């Protein structure tokens, strides 16, 4: 390669390096090679040619600007994924909280009905059994989780199908539970919890 051709290549690659350093974040590598090239005038002509070839390979490795980079860019993908997943995740979390509280109250009402029925078994007749069941709920209703005994309605009586069965039915107004306004889009159960328990009163 002649000296004139070498300097022509040198000038061409310097122009490309200037373009790369202004358009590509990786252009600093080309700028570094360009400065080395200017500072290596003491090297032999062959060494400078080899250095220029390495410089050219560096330029080739640099990715040119792409007009479609906006469509291919991956920046912000986490934010987009979160925007898609977050509503479903929030709905599931609030749903678990709301239904967990509701099922806790439902279990308490069912347990109270069973305990009242066991207490009523000591009565000699229907009226006495009903009194015992009502008394148990009045004394112990507030001891059950998520239950306010003033919101309870008690219906205790002998079974219509079997006189030896005594049934305690409870109806609980659950509107005071802190779940109904968590999310308006969340499907919720009925606001009145109804549970019952049956026990055999015995006899000969």
**Using CA atoms, how far apart are residues 27 and 59, in angstroms rounded to an integer?**
9
Q: Whose structure tokens read 């790369």?
A: 20
The pLDDT of residue 204: 46
Could you tell me the pTM of the whole model? 0.61
Q: What is the DSSP string of the chain?
A: --HHHHHHHHHHHHHHHHHHHHH-TTHHHHHHHHHHHHH-TTS-HHHHHHHHHHHHHHHHHSPPP-TTHHHH--TTHHHHHHHHHHHHHHHHHHHHHHHHHHHHHHHHHHHHHHHHHHHHTT-SSHHHHHHHHHHHHHHHGGGSTT--GGGEEEEEEE-SS-TTEEEEEEEEE-TTSTTTTS-TTS----SEEEEEEEEE----
The pLDDT of residue 57: 64
Contact 200, 118 (CB under 8 A): no
Question: pLDDT for 44-91, tens place per residue?
Answer: 656 766 666 676 666 555 555 555 566 667 778 889 999 999 999 999
The pLDDT of residue 68: 58
Show the tokens assigned to 29.
């590598």
**Using CA atoms, how far apart are residues 4 and 23, in angstroms rounded to an integer?**
29
Phi, psi of 179, deg, nearest 5: -130, -15
The pLDDT of residue 185: 82
pLDDT at 131 over 90: yes
As beta bridge partners, residue 169 has: 155, 196
Greater confidence (19 vs 15) lies with: 15
Question: pLDDT for 138-161, tens place per residue?
Answer: 999 999 999 999 999 999 999 988
Show the tokens assigned to 190.
């009925």
Show the tokens assigned to 72.
């291919």
Q: What is the largest CA-CA distance in the chain?
A: 125
Greater confidence (65 vs 171) lies with: 171
């Amino acid at each position: 390669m002649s000296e004139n051709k070498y300097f022509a290549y040198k000038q061409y690659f310097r122009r490309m390096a200037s373009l790369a350093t202004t358009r590509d974040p990786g252009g600093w590598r080309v700028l570094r090679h360009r400065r080395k090239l200017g500072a290596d005038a003491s090297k032999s002509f062959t060494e400078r040619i080899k250095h220029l070839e390495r410089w050219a390979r560096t330029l080739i490795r640099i990715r040119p600007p792409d007009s479609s980079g906006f469509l291919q860019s991956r920046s912000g993908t986490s934010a987009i994924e979160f925007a898609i997943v977050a509503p479903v995740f929030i709905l599931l979390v609030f749903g678990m909280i709301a239904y967990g509280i509701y099922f806790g109250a439902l279990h308490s009402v069912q347990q109270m009905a069973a305990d009242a029925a066991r207490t009523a078994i000591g009565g000699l007749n229907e009226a006495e059994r009903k009194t015992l069941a009502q008394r148990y709920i009045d004394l112990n209703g507030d001891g059950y989780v998520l239950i306010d005994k003033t919101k309870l309605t008690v219906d205790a009586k002998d079974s219509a199908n079997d006189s030896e069965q005594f049934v305690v039915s409870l109806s609980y107004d659950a509107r005071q539970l802190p779940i109904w306004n968590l999310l308006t889009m969340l499907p919720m159960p009925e606001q009145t919890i109804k549970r019952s328990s049956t026990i055999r009163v015995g006899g000969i």
